[in-house]
Amino acid sequence: MSRTGGHRQPMTKIGYFLSSEEYTPAELIEQARLAEEAGFDGLWISDHYHPWNDEQGQSAFVWSTIGAISQVCELPVTTAVTCPTVRIHPAVIAQAAATSAVLLNGRFALGIGSGEALNEHIFGDAWPTVDVRLEMLEEAVEIIRRLWTEDGFVSHHGKHYTVDNARIYTRPDAPVPIYMSGFGPEATDVAARIADGYITTTPDSDLLKRFRENGGGDKPTQVGFKVSYAPTEEEGIEQAHRIWANSGLPGELSQVLPSPRHFEQASQLVTKEQTAKSVTAGANAADHLKAFQPYLEAGFDEIYVANMGPHSVDMMKLYRDEVLPELRRR
């Protein structure tokens, strides 16, 4: 066991992150099956309406993909993350998540966040400020939990949402855990207060400590990052920069830019050299092991790794044979 900020932590779980923006539904389903065979402990799956750029080229409806995954794989699944506030009403997300949990025999967690304009602007609604988005998210969580737990029909007349005599008939035996993403102090505080767990994509030990000390306690914490497996480091860097240069954009750009073409324009500011410094690329197991170290040292309970590019099958083999056994030995 390790101790970080007073949190006593069992062995970290290592999961695989399915990128809905880059792979077809069939590829995601096959990756889920291979991840289980390789020895991963769980799955993240992204929920997008658009990819970040046209080079990524995909963005399937995540709930259909989760249903198919449930038939080929027994790993637990977490959405990373769903925005249950603008594009889809929280009452519908409650039904989708409940059905996913039933199909997965309870091995499902609803990961939520305040969203990005990239995915949520499609009906022409004004994109709210972050304070309003967090307020909407908190009300959405209240609705979702009521629909999962209350007997009979639910009605709600709130500031942002109305629900009129709704009832979810197909529900799992226990309510679905809700994990919330937090990439800044304000969102992290809300997650600590209302969520059953915490999600992020940076090894920020200060935010993790803030979550635990402001109400998160020993609730599960999850973090994810991307690597770029390829036969050579040079090829891995090239494909990471071509497909995922948007990952290098700073600040709140990822939350406010409204379309893939805007991300493509902004990503021109990210150089290939910057990508090379920030991404683990190539086929060296030692390099892939090193990429986990900041997240392990920060003290996360679960770490999810995604692959960028076309070599996911070979990446799975490397992790099965070398990376996962060594991580667990350590």
Task: Confirm whether 7 is domain-assigned.
Answer: no
Q: Is residue 48 flagged as an active site residue?
A: yes
Dihedral sign for Cα 171, 177, 180, 186, please: positive
Give 251's pLDDT tier (boundaries 50, 70, 90).
confident
- Tell me what the mean pLDDT of segment 222-237 comes to: 98
pTM: 0.95
Q: Are the CB atoms for 133 and 115 separated by under 8 Å? A: yes
Q: How far separated are the first and last CA of the chain, in Å rounded?
A: 11
Among 21, 22, 36, 116, the active-site one is 116
For 53-99, how does the pLDDT look when each residue is reduced to its tens digit (9 = 90+)? 999 999 999 999 999 999 999 999 999 999 999 999 999 999 999 99
Among 21, 36, 48, 302, the active-site one is 48
Distant-in-sequence, close-in-space partners of 235: CB < 8 Å, separation ≥ 6: 281, 282
Residue with tokens 């150089």: 271
Task: Confirm whether 6 is domain-assigned.
Answer: no
For 159-190, how does the pLDDT look when each residue is reduced to its tens digit (9 = 90+)? 999 999 999 999 999 999 999 999 999 999 99
Task: Confirm whether 3 is domain-assigned.
Answer: no
Range of the domain at 201: 13-329
Task: Confirm whether 123 is domain-assigned.
Answer: yes
Report the distance separating Cα 302 and Cα 296, nearest Å: 9
Give strand ranges (E) for the chain.
2-4, 7-9, 13-18, 43-45, 77-79, 108-112, 154-157, 162-166, 178-181, 197-200, 221-228, 280-281, 302-307
Task: Confirm whether 173 is domain-assigned.
Answer: yes
Task: Confirm whether 5 is domain-assigned.
Answer: no
CATH of the domain at 300: 3.20.20.30
Task: Provide the 8-state DSSP code for 87.
Answer: S
Angle between helices 90-103 and 62-69 (to 10 degrees): 10
Strand pairing class (154-157; 162-166): antiparallel
Q: Is residue 116 flagged as an active site residue?
A: yes
Cis peptide before 154 (omega within 30 of 0): no
Domain count, the chain: 1
- Tell me what the mean pLDDT of segment 213-218 comes to: 97
Task: Confirm whether 2 is domain-assigned.
Answer: no
Task: Confirm whether 310 is domain-assigned.
Answer: yes
